[in-house]
Amino acid sequence: MPAQVDAPAPPGAAPVSDIRAALGLRPIVNVSGTMTALGASIVVPEAMVAISAVLGEFVEIDDLQRRASTVIARACGAEAGFVTASCSAGITLSVAAAMTGADLAAIERLPDTGALRNEVPIQIGHMVGYGAPVEQAVRLAGARVVPVGQATEVHGYQLAGAIGLHTAAVLYVVSHHAVEYGQLTLEEVVEIAHAAGRPVLVDAASEYDIPGFLARGADLVAFSAHKFLGGPTAGIVAGRKSLVRAAFLQNRGIGRGMKVGKEGIAGAMAALEAWQRRDHAAVRARRRAALESWRNALADRPGIRAEIVPDPTGNPLERLRLAVDPAAARITAWDLADALAQGAPPVIVRDHEVELGWFQLDPCNLHPDEERVVARRLAEEIERARTAAAPLATPLSERRRRRVAALLAWPD
């Protein structure tokens, strides 16, 4: 579990070591999850120690990466591994590796692929956005995305038909954003791709099952170090040694702009080793207690239905789904989410499905006692809506326009 701060703060207050006030930043409470836009996760103490220790020293980066390869290989059941700037960078470098191999001249020519195999089939239901389109991570290497099937229905013959002479690799995405039905399984993709002599690359940014994807036949897997592992911002690439080497060599080409520093490598190694020692059962019990306390606190609220739901990709965690009936609650799900985000302290919920009438609360990044803060803020905003002169029902389209306008106005 992401680390707890050393000195618990009173409910509603920031942690003792909180730097946000000094930077003029809002003291948000994160119940959205390990989102990059919120800083991803609370970095575990082991990674903080490793980062601090290496920052004042010189190291030979290639040798540090060799040490990282040993740690990654052991944790992932892989032949080799390395650390890069992010999981997204790991996808790009993995695609590049499938195209160039260890050919240094070809590596220097990318993103000009010339006569290289440069096509990457991907199921349409896997063409998600994670802050940027996943297919853009493919195109950055100079490759061309080949969509497979329809958004909610993909067949093996469609993938087989998409693999041809120009295919470099097949990309498989594991994400809560991906379509949850009608897709080929990883095993099916591996069988079809390997029969054609092509590797399978997996984007598993937020997935807990570190060795599982390689064990199921994937050739390269990319993870985020800064999400479930509680490490610094970095990506971990693991898999078959020849492909890992080819991906690592991209640092002499397009990977130069995706390089990771000594602190990122050392921190990712420490976080990965800490993950293997973690008492996952105890972590899950603490999170479950927070979920049940929220569910119980919301049990009698008109128009609010709270239920504990499993993670859609099979990670061993749950979240609380709050379904909002605007007629009874006098507020829409998205207006309630926005009210929570604008209050004191701001509580940021998991709202990517909010147009369906619900949002979720994820307990994985709570500081001590923050579950009480979340319960209090929920009660405040639900009661404010109940007693307001008029129901709050902002058009969803207006909310979307407002968010885009705010983005385009940055840094103002």
pLDDT tens digits in sequence order for the chain, 412 residues long: 333 333 333 333 444 468 888 898 899 999 998 888 888 889 999 999 999 999 999 999 999 999 999 999 999 999 999 999 999 999 999 999 999 999 999 999 999 999 999 999 999 999 998 888 999 999 999 999 999 999 999 999 999 999 999 999 999 999 888 888 899 999 999 999 999 999 999 999 888 888 999 999 999 999 999 988 999 999 999 999 999 999 999 999 999 999 999 999 999 999 999 988 988 889 899 999 999 999 999 998 999 999 999 988 888 889 999 999 999 999 999 999 999 999 999 999 999 889 999 999 999 999 988 999 999 999 999 999 989 888 889 998 999 999 999 989 989 8
Q: Which of 220, 227, 138, 217 is nearest to 175 (CA)?
A: 227
> Domain spans of the chain?
20-31+280-408, 45-277
Distance CA 368, CA 33 (A): 16
The first and second tokens of residue 264, run together, are 């990122």
- Cβ-proximal residues to 252 (8 Å cutoff; 6+ apart), any chain: 104, 107, 108
Work out the widest C-alpha separation in the chain, in whole angstroms.
Answer: 69
Same fold: 20-31+280-408 with 45-277: no
| Whole-angstrom distance, CA of residue 115 vs CA of residue 122 | 21
Distance, in Å, from the CA atom of 237 to the CA atom of 243, rounded to the nearest integer, reads 10
According to CATH, the topology of domain 20-31+280-408 is: Aspartate Aminotransferase, domain 1 (3.90.1150)
Q: Do 99 and 118 form a contact (C-beta atoms < 8 A)?
A: yes
Q: Which overall architecture, per CATH, does domain 45-277 show?
A: 3-Layer(aba) Sandwich (3.40)
Mark residue 303 as left, alpha or beta (left: phi above 0; alpha: psi -120 to 50; beta: remaining): left
Length of the chain: 412
